[in-house]
Amino acid sequence: MRVLITTDTVGGVWTFTQELAGQLLSRGWFIHLVSLGREPSPSQQGWFEDTASQYTGRFSWAALDVPLEWMEDNERAWPEAAPALIRMAHESGADLLHSNQFCFGALPINIPRIVTAHSDVLSWARACRPVSLDDSPWLRRYLELVRSGLSQAHAVVAPTNWMANSLLDDYPRIKRPFVISNGRTIPQPDAAPRRLQAITAGRLWDEAKNVAMLAEVHSPIPLLVAGDVQSGPEKKNAPPAGVTFLGSLASEELLRVFRESAMYLCTSRYEPFGLAPLEAALCGCAVLANDIPSLREVWQDGALYFDNADSLSSLLNRLCSEPDELARAQRQSLDRARTFTAARMVAAYEQLFHHWMTRMEDGRLCPAVSA
């Protein structure tokens, strides 16, 4: 089976796509992977090349210099990407499109079109801003792209029930999304001693990650932050006392820091799933999570929760003074993280893909809309 997959190079979507594509390739699928957004980083470029070498004849890729639908210059997102994707779908003989952007659910090609909804501007704004977003040409274009893609996709997938319900609240005319939890494959952590330090990962300029909370935390241990420290030309801000900015780290380097750390701090006020805390827990960190509904759904009793800087400070002080409680929290986070396997995720996607391809073969799929 041949699948055309779109991804982006800006965050968790890339990690998700690496995992999904790698697992599908190992199961015999043919994949043409197309990245959008920023130019691939050296490590991302290396992954493309290594994967093409490992799966000669079954993996190909392309990088489009086209913005994502949520980016400021989103007027280019559809007219520049759609013709290229239509051409690639025909050239690769794709049996199915799996898009990690909303708008390509409307791509006029006669194959099943599956969209995975990782996040959305409207639910992001509700969680991060005290008032609604101002009406603007950018927002109107975004909403038009999202509504078109969601309404014309054959199926929409969300990583949590919380995200599925948010989509239904904001786009009530769509069919209910399928819920397929994300999954990761990370080797068993070593039993080596860890440093008594806590880490978080995320773009400092993204209000959703709420990293600014750390400036108000009174921590007895070092706090580390991995991720982009700026967006565009803005200069890097100095870190608060007790906080160290590590900058953007390649995947293997980030996992190394996770394996050295005792705790992961998920300060997010908006997190439709959260791959970074999952990775950290699989590396042996205790997860300390902001008490929001989506993180409660994902982590249940596998995390310890806080709701402001003071309660996080108390939690850090308690865990540092009670090593047995810290060790128990680490075990509970690891046990919960192990339920989110890549194998389970990919099996669910395979079932969904086969369902829609069978409907296409049986003539039970509506033809694609015209461009």
pLDDT of residue 263: 98
Q: Where residue 204 falls among pLDDT bands split at 50, 70, 90?
A: confident
- Mean pLDDT score, 66-71: 95
Q: Kindly list the structural domains of the chain, giving each domain's residue range(s) and its CATH number in brackets, ordered by start.
A: 2-183+341-361 (3.40.50.2000), 195-337 (3.40.50.2000)
Beta bridge partners of 158: 179
Residue 142's closest CA among 66, 76, 231? 76
The residue type of 60 is: S
Question: Phi and psi (nearest 5°) for 135?
Answer: -65, 135
Q: Which residues pair with 62 in a beta bridge?
A: 34
Q: Is the dihedral of CA 46, 47, 52, 54 positive or negative?
A: positive
What mean pLDDT value characterizes the chain? Answer: 92
- Count of CA atoms in the C-beta half-sphere (13 A) of 227: 20
Instruction: Read off the tokens for 208.
Output: 């959703």
Q: Which of 127-136, 240-249, 332-341, 360-369 has the lowest mean pLDDT?
A: 360-369
Tens of pLDDT, residues 206-253:
889 998 899 999 999 999 999 876 544 334 556 677 789 999 888 889
pTM, to two decimals: 0.91
Q: What are the C-alpha distances in Å from 300 to residues 192, 215, 295, 335?
A: 27, 27, 8, 11
Res. 360 pLDDT band, cuts 50 70 90: confident
Confidence (pLDDT) at 234:
39
What DSSP state is assigned to residue 341?
A: B
Cα 133-36-103 angle, rounded to 5 deg: 55
Residue 367 has pLDDT above 60, yes or no: no
Question: Which residue, among 285, 268, 226, 220, has the nearest Cα to 251 in the 3D structure?
Answer: 226
How many helices (H) and strands (E) would you count in the chain? Answer: 12, 13
